[in-house]
Amino acid sequence: MSGDVPDFLPKLRLLTPARVRLDARGGAAPLASVLDFQLSHAKARDAIRQPVDWAALRAGLGAREVIELHSRAPDRDTYIRRPDLGRRLSEDSLARIPCTRPDLAVVIADGLSAFAVTNHAAAMVDALDAALPELTFGPIALAREGRVAIGDEIAAAMGAPLCLVLIGERPGLSVSDSLGAYLTWDPKVGAPDSSRNCVSNIHGRGGLDYARATDLLTFLIRKAREIRATGVALKDDRVASPLIGG
């Protein structure tokens, strides 16, 4: 022991961005810790409330064809109060989706973290495009006020057998820009969550970096096309999984 502070606490804090026993001796939290907490709380609120920088995202996607869509939630307040409306497309958006029959429909939805989408979505599309040269993606769908399930309706309208949704995850007090990726075979309205695979915590600062996330998603996409299924039927069963080591 060093004073009243257990020896393992400094080592434990190096392993996680979480707040681990801020004051091991008891008493009031240090001012620096209080201010850091307030800053993190403000970032989490901003991540939910601020809009995605859609112009920057389109620029990051380069020359790729993009189609801009909107859910049935007309604004952010409605989106937060009515998750069901964020799962379906507006009628106008649905009518504008071309049936291009790509191998993989890629959907980017704002979800609950604008920061995650602005910071990471274009880079993940770049990485996946380079890792899957054998597949066609079709137009990249940008879905405003969208939840995960909105990808089912988009992919079905495109005629795609497989859908990948990149979406901002619910922010926490450690990370406010974590991106999630959801993969669904045979996407259609009403598909259950058990039919999806999720790769979460993509942000690179203690979570999955782009390379590891791309490696895992590439494996899952190819395997899903092979077995024609996702969700509970699809597992990362590699011996040297990037999440396990080896």
Of 7-11, 182-186, 192-196, 219-223, give the lowest mean pLDDT range. Answer: 7-11
Question: What Cα–Cα distance (Å) separates residue 24 from each residue in 2, 8, 34?
Answer: 11, 11, 15
Q: Which DSSP helix (H) or strand (E) runs through 201?
A: strand 196-202
Any idea of the CA torsion for 230, 235, 237, 238, to the nearest 10 degrees?
Answer: 60
Report yes or no: 142 and 69 within 8 Å, Cβ to Cβ.
yes
Q: Which DSSP helix (H) or strand (E) runs through 80?
A: helix 76-81
* Cross-strand pairs, 67: 141
The share of the chain scoring above pLDDT 90, in percent, equals 67
Rounded distance between C-alpha atoms, residue 238 and residue 190, angstroms? 31
Q: What band does 244 get if pLDDT is binned at 50, 70 and 90? A: very low
Q: Which DSSP helix (H) or strand (E) runs through 141?
A: strand 140-144
Q: Beta-carbon neighbour count of residue 27 at 10 Å?
A: 6
9's CB contacts (< 8 A; 6+ apart) are 20, 21, 24
Question: What Cα–Cα distance (Å) separates residue 208 from each residue in 6, 82, 88, 242, 243?
Answer: 30, 30, 29, 10, 9
Report yes or no: 146 and 140 within 8 Å, Cβ to Cβ.
no
Give helix 122-131 / helix 210-227 axis angle, nearest 10°: 50
* Cross-strand pairs, 140: 66
Backbone angles phi, psi at 28, to 5 degrees: -65, 145
Q: What band does 241 get if pLDDT is binned at 50, 70 and 90? A: low
239 vs 90: which has the higher pLDDT: 90
pLDDT of 105 > 90? The answer is: yes
Q: What band does 1 get if pLDDT is binned at 50, 70 and 90? A: very low
The share of the chain scoring above pLDDT 70, in percent, equals 85
The pLDDT value given to residue 245: 43
Q: What band does 240 get if pLDDT is binned at 50, 70 and 90? A: low
Domain boundaries, the chain: 54-233
CA end-to-end distance (rounded Å), the chain:
35
pLDDT of 246 > 50? The answer is: no
Report yes or no: 175 and 99 within 8 Å, Cβ to Cβ.
no
45 vs 177: which has the higher pLDDT: 177
Q: Decide if domain 54-233 falls under CATH 3.40.50.11240.
A: yes
Q: What is the largest CA-CA distance in the chain?
A: 68
The average confidence (pLDDT) of the chain is 88
The pLDDT value given to residue 48: 80
170-193 mean pLDDT:
89
58-74 mean pLDDT:
96
